Amino acid sequence: AKAAIENLLPAKSKALYEKTYSIFKDWCGAKKVKEITEDVILAYLEQRSRQVKPSTIIVLVMCVKFFF
């Protein structure tokens, strides 16, 4: 199943998705998140929205959602 999911990512987007997810996981670790829920994802996106452009938030949503 994991291989099938990985094949869904376009090759040139894969690095971006993986980097974005890695940053999200690091954020979760820093916040001591034990379970990733919709509320956790929304808190992450709300915090990031103060740091990046709105168009970047759309990309973050797609990247993080891909892994859940």
pLDDT number for residue 30:
96
pTM given for the model: 0.74
- On whether the CB atoms of residues 48 and 20 are closer than 8 A, the answer is no
- Alpha carbon 56 to its chain centroid, in Å, reads 11
pLDDT number for residue 47:
92
Distance of alpha carbon 55 from alpha carbon 60, whole angstroms: 9
Distance of alpha carbon 35 from alpha carbon 52, whole angstroms: 25
Rg of the chain taking only CA atoms, in angstroms: 12
Distance of alpha carbon 32 from alpha carbon 41, whole angstroms: 14
Instruction: Name the pLDDT band for 67 (thresholds 50, 70, 90).
Output: confident
Structure confidence by residue, pLDDT tens digits, 6-56: 677 777 788 888 888 899 999 999 999 999 898 998 999 899 989 988 888
